[in-house]
Amino acid sequence: MTSIKTHELNNIGILVTRPAHQAEPLCRLISQHGGNPIRFPVLEIIDIGDNPHFSNQIQRLNEFDIAIFISPNAAEKAITRIKSVSKWPNHIKIAAVGKSSAKALD
């Protein structure tokens, strides 16, 4: 793999696979440095809604000891849904993978 040692991207195309609603900051940065962002979202982040499996897990929250969130999207969507129908049990420890996930839990 070749590393880019300058701050200019010389009009090279860069595939941006982030979800559409989260891609713009990266696309702007690529453009500012002379690159050509190619938007190609491979994920769509949606609300959990009334998913029966997740609703069942919310009802069982008191049985769990720890909740691990692996992405900011997972944290935001899950916490929003849980708080809309239940109170978060005080005994459950919370873990986050990465700084962005931890920040989403604040």
Q: Give burial (CB, 10 Å; 0-12/13-18/19+) of 22.
A: middle
Inter-residue contact 16 to 23 (CB < 8 Å): yes
Rounded distance, CA 94 to CA 91, Å? 10
Instruction: Dump pLDDT digits (tens) for 39-94.
Output: 999 999 988 888 899 999 999 999 999 999 999 999 999 999 999 999 999 999 99
Q: What is the structure's pLDDT at 4?
A: 53
Would you kindly state where each structural domain of the chain is located, as residue ranges? 8-45, 52-105
Rounded distance, CA 106 to CA 103, Å? 5
**What does the DSSP 8-state code read for residue 90?**
T
Six-digit token pair at 80?
């929003």
Whether the full predicted model's pTM is greater than 0.85, yes or no, is: no
Instruction: Dump pLDDT digits (tens) for 20-46.
Output: 999 999 999 999 999 999 999 999 998
